[in-house]
Amino acid sequence: MLERILTIEPVDPLDFCFPKPLAAGPAGLLLPAALPLLLAVAIAARRQWRSEGPPSAGSSTRMERILKSARESGSLNLSNRSLSEVPGEVYNNLDTGSLDDKWWEGVDLQKLILAHNNLEVLREDLRNLSSLVVLNISHNQISSLPAAIGDLPLLKSLDASFNQIKLIPEEVGLATALVKVDFSNNCLTELPASLGRCLNLSELKASNNNISRLPDELAGCCKLSKFDLEGNKLVLLPENMFTSWTLLTELNAAKNQLTAIPASIGALSKLVRMDLHQNKITSIPSSIKGCSSLAEFYMGNNLLSTIPDDIGMLSKLGTLDLHSNQLKEYPVGACKLKLSFLDLSNNALSGLPPELGTMTTLRKLLLSGNPMRALRSSLVSGPTSTLMKYLRSRLSADVEASGSRTTPTKDDQISAARRLSVSSKELNLSGLGVPNVPPAAWETSDVVKLDLSKNLIEDLPNELSLCSSLQSLILSNNKIKKWPGMVVSSLPSLTSLKLDNNPLAEISPTDLDSLSKLEILDLSGNASSLSEPSVVSSLPQLQELYLRRMKLQEFPIGLVQLKHLRILNLSQNNLSTIPEGIKDFSALIELDLSDNNITRLPAELGLLEPSLQVLKLDGNPLRSIRRTVLERGTKAVLSYLKEKLPSN
């Protein structure tokens, strides 16, 4: 290609206007009327020609210089050159075939930038660039990628954004060194399942395509930190992915057709930014509290009608965008947040809780487009600081003066708790030191969570059965001796029951028959309550089971019948062995075996990878696994055990 360019003969621009005979003609020769203008253009062109040389020869010379530099550095940038095809020399690893080249001084091409051109095709010869680490072909007109992309074993960064690609070949999964991939702004309807083999993949972008579902195999990308699928047609985010992507820091699935956030979102403890605006999401799961690093949360333009109080546990959240939803109230629990920006505009709010005024970090609060009846319009549209001051003035006297009062009475504490429960639906009567359940527990309507922990309660009154909406009952650290079967069996919505640290007598299998909806059970510290732990297997919906300090001698293998069990805590017992049947606990994401007498782990435990995300083994005299492996964490331990399995 370069040789053809070099054979073009340079031509003086003035020769086009004045051929030699005409230029030497008689002085009286009359020129056409348009010729003076043409003459001026030609003179200007000639000046440029003299300073830069002939255009074809100049571009050829520049290209030669670029290729020579690339042979020396291993980096070639051909962006913004109006290329319609990739020069053949590139596919040949910059080998021009010239005898003048000092080929022994050259290096293989490692970085190739072809962005912002008019390329339509990449040839299969791309496989010749076996040392390529970075490939950027963005902003072209490419409709497909060659299968040869899988023959680039060192490729770490692939940018194919802003093209017309309809399908990514499955061979891309053979480029297992990939760390960053960008398929944004194409015509994709799916992502290749083979990407799940790219175990080092850290950033995956595929925004503004037509993708409607994600392959389950993507869960294998356990090092993923940034995931961007904005502007697609996704209807759901698979549960298993979030349990695997525990290193995720940024999640963008805005402008899709999502209707729910998976409960497994709580596994993303390192997530810093989450953008799910402009979807059809109707609720935020309470497990959001697990996203302890979340700093920015965008949920505008959805169908939210409520916000869970658990969101108030996100201590690092600074930006919360809830505009254009269907919210009728802002929960008191969310007033614990340390927000700097809160957007509640275009909802159905008629007022705000006075507790919002205690959010001293808030600098901007947007409320326009709400049918506010409890607040003057001047407050709604005025400065945030003025509104916050007004809300603080509405706080009840006992709450306002709580900092100066030293010992509020128990009645005062119960009254304050009742007021807070009106909007939060949670009644906290913990730590009052009362021997009986206060009547406020059943007199407060629609309570969904009742905390009676850290008291001196021995029995539950029958009146507590009136709490038909109760979902969570916390009775930890009391004096309860007898299983409160009559009361708990009368609570049709109960899903969480915590009875840890009570002097409970033995629980019979029939005591649990009426709790078929129970999802969380904590019996820790009640060593006499379960002579046979497997009796809890009669709870078909159980997801979390806590049996700490139960003096267990053997692993309760009968629990394998709990097909939905996700969290199992058997810490601080007397376990010495773990059975091979542990492999059948396929739904587990967290297993706590710390502070036991375990000396070895079965290789079958490794089969729980990748579903098992947390394995706690501290405080055991383990001799079958080197300390260096243990110190590398759950993934390393499971991989080590898996390698110990027989090859068959």
DSSP 536: G
Please give the mean pLDDT across all residues of the chain.
84
**What average pLDDT does the segment 423-439 reach?**
87
Asked if the structure places residue 50 within a domain, the reply is: no
Higher pLDDT, 125 or 72: 125
Contact 416, 444 (CB under 8 A): no
How does pLDDT run across 317-336, given as a tens digit for each residue?
Answer: 999 999 999 999 999 889 99
- Do 181 and 296 belong to one domain? no
Asked if the structure places residue 320 within a domain, the reply is: yes
Kindly list the distances between the CA atom of residue 558 and the CA atoms of 62, 356, 536, in Å, as whole numbers in the listed order: 75, 48, 9
Position 272 confidence tier, pLDDT thresholds 50, 70, 90: very high
- Do 80 and 179 belong to one domain? yes
Strand ranges for 85-202 from DSSP E: 111-113, 134-136, 157-159, 180-182
For residues 149 and 177, give the distance between their C-alpha atoms in angstroms, rounded to a whole number: 12
- Do 204 and 302 belong to one domain? no
How does pLDDT run across 344-403, given as a tens digit for each residue?
Answer: 999 999 888 888 888 888 888 999 888 887 778 788 888 888 888 888 887 754 354 444
How does pLDDT run across 471-486, given as a tens digit for each residue?
Answer: 999 999 999 988 888 8
The encoded tokens of residue 205 equal: 């972008």
What CATH number is given to the structural domain containing 148?
Answer: 3.80.10.10
The encoded tokens of residue 240 equal: 């298993």
Asked if the structure places residue 222 within a domain, the reply is: yes
Instruction: Give burial (CB, 10 Å; 0-12/13-18/19+) of 512.
Output: buried
Question: Residue 404 corresponds to which amino acid?
Answer: S
Position 487 confidence tier, pLDDT thresholds 50, 70, 90: confident
pLDDT at position 281 is: 95
How does pLDDT run across 510-540, given as a tens digit for each residue?
Answer: 888 788 889 999 999 888 777 777 788 888 8
How does pLDDT run across 492-517, given as a tens digit for each residue?
Answer: 889 999 999 998 888 887 888 788 88
How does pLDDT run across 594-613, given as a tens digit for each residue?
Answer: 999 999 899 999 998 878 88
**What average pLDDT does the segment 112-136 reach?**
93
Q: In 303-448, which residue ranges form alpha helices assigned H by DSSP?
A: 377-381, 384-393, 397-400, 410-424, 440-443
- Do 75 and 223 belong to one domain? yes
Q: Look at strands 614-616 and 590-592 and give their pairing.
A: parallel
pLDDT at position 623 is: 82
Asked if the structure places residue 369 within a domain, the reply is: yes
Asked if the structure places residue 300 within a domain, the reply is: yes
Domain containing 338 equals: 258-268+276-395
Query: CB neighbours (10 Å) of residue 127?
Result: 16
- Do 84 and 204 belong to one domain? yes
For residues 152 and 179, give the distance between their C-alpha atoms in angstroms, rounded to a whole number: 13
- Do 209 and 312 belong to one domain? no
pLDDT at position 396 is: 53
Contact 245, 222 (CB under 8 A): yes
Q: Which of 395, 416, 444 is the last residue of a domain?
A: 395
**Count: domains in the chain:** 2
Contact 595, 616 (CB under 8 A): no
**Mind giving me the DSSP string for 183-205?**
--SS--S---GGGGG-TT--EEE
- Do 343 and 198 belong to one domain? no
pLDDT at position 409 is: 78
Higher pLDDT, 142 or 25: 142
First to last CA, the chain: 56
**Coil vs helix vs strand at 174:** helix
Asked if the structure places residue 314 within a domain, the reply is: yes
Query: What values do phi and psi take at 22, rounded to 5?
Result: -70, -40
pLDDT at position 9 is: 40
Residue tagged 């964490």 (tokens): 633
pLDDT at position 404 is: 43
How does pLDDT run across 18-74, given as a tens digit for each residue?
Answer: 444 443 444 344 444 545 555 555 555 555 444 444 444 455 677 778 878 888 888
Position 618 confidence tier, pLDDT thresholds 50, 70, 90: confident
- Do 226 and 300 belong to one domain? no
- Do 212 and 317 belong to one domain? no
Cα torsion 53, 56, 58, 59 to 10°: value is 160
Contact 171, 193 (CB under 8 A): no
Q: Which of 332, 360, 395 is the last residue of a domain?
A: 395
- Do 226 and 264 belong to one domain? no
- Do 215 and 360 belong to one domain? no
Asked if the structure places residue 609 within a domain, the reply is: no
Give CA angle at 560 (554, 561), nearest 5°: 130
Q: Which of 335, 365, 395 is the last residue of a domain?
A: 395
For residues 314 and 362, give the distance between their C-alpha atoms in angstroms, rounded to a whole number: 15
**What average pLDDT does the segment 564-571 reach?**
92
For residue 101, is pLDDT > 60?
no
- Do 283 and 363 belong to one domain? yes
Kindly list the distances between the CA atom of residue 98 and the CA atoms of 75, 91, 276, 377, 590, in Å, as whole numbers in the listed order: 20, 16, 56, 80, 63
Asked if the structure places residue 317 within a domain, the reply is: yes
For residue 418, is pLDDT > 90?
no
